A = this chain, B = another copy of it.
Amino acid sequence: MVSKDDYSHHISQQYNSELDEIRSQFLAMGGQVEKQLGDALDALINGDSNLALQVQEYEKSINAMESRIDDECMRILARRQPAASDLRMILAIGKAIIDLERIGDESYKIARYALALSEEGEAPRGYVETRHIGQDVRHMVHEALDSFARLDVDQAFAVMRADGSIDLEYKSATRALMTYMMEDPRSISRVLNIMWVLRSLERIGDHARNLSEQLIFLVKGADVRHTSYDLIEKALQTNPK
């Protein structure tokens, strides 16, 4: 005979495995987006138009992953009525997949500029700056996803801080590119393509920051958007409501 306790136990096991499944789908989507970004940057730096075309192909599978996770989150909300940390996890993932999908969009754009630039042949000035910021942004996205995998709020907070230095690098790179354009007006259209790539990278940095904010919300229950670093540090020392 199956007792009521066995039955509840069974339900809760199934529920837990649904939650695990969402988390692992989310991390799989993250891995895919990270690869798309890395390949887009490699395609750009190496003028590899085949790789750029491949990056554009990822788009559909990433969108499909987003829709699947989103559906699954809604299903769990409707059927399991999660509370406390489970509810926060569903909500955090529901928002984080939007950022992942947008990182995918920006990587798609970078691949488009990689194609445009590889057709023009000559490597324009501004590549050094792009490579540098590209590496930093790639690292940020990796760390943000890793903090999700390990539920590590300190790591997530470090990503948030890193976004500030990306913004500074972005500004100085933009100024350098502006000088190149003035020195050689014939290069304007090419340098502008690099400028758009930098803009996309700066955006991706913002999205990585958002991912980290969601992870802090998930673990700590604290909404750290629009909040100073000092206040965030305080929030990290407290336990969830």
Contact = CB atoms under 8 A, between A and B. Distances in A.
A63 to B, nearest CB: 4
Contact of A182 (B91, B98, B185, B223): B185
Interface string A12-36: 0000000000000000000000000
A67 interface: yes
Interface in A179-207: 181-182, 185-186, 188-189, 192, 199
A241 to B, nearest CB: 11
Contacts of A186: 182
Determine the main DSSP class of A at the interface with B.
helix
Interface string A209-233: 0000000000000010110000000
Interface string A87-99: 1000100110010
A70 interface: yes
Interface in A91-136: 91, 94-95, 98
Contacts of A98: 95, 98
A74 interface: yes
Contacts of A81: 81
Interface of A: 60, 63, 66-67, 70-71, 74, 77-78, 81, 83-84, 87, 91, 94-95, 98, 178, 181-182, 185-186, 188-189, 192, 199, 223, 225-226
Nearest 6 interchain pairs by C-beta: A63-B226, A81-B81, A185-B185, A181-B188, A182-B185, A182-B188
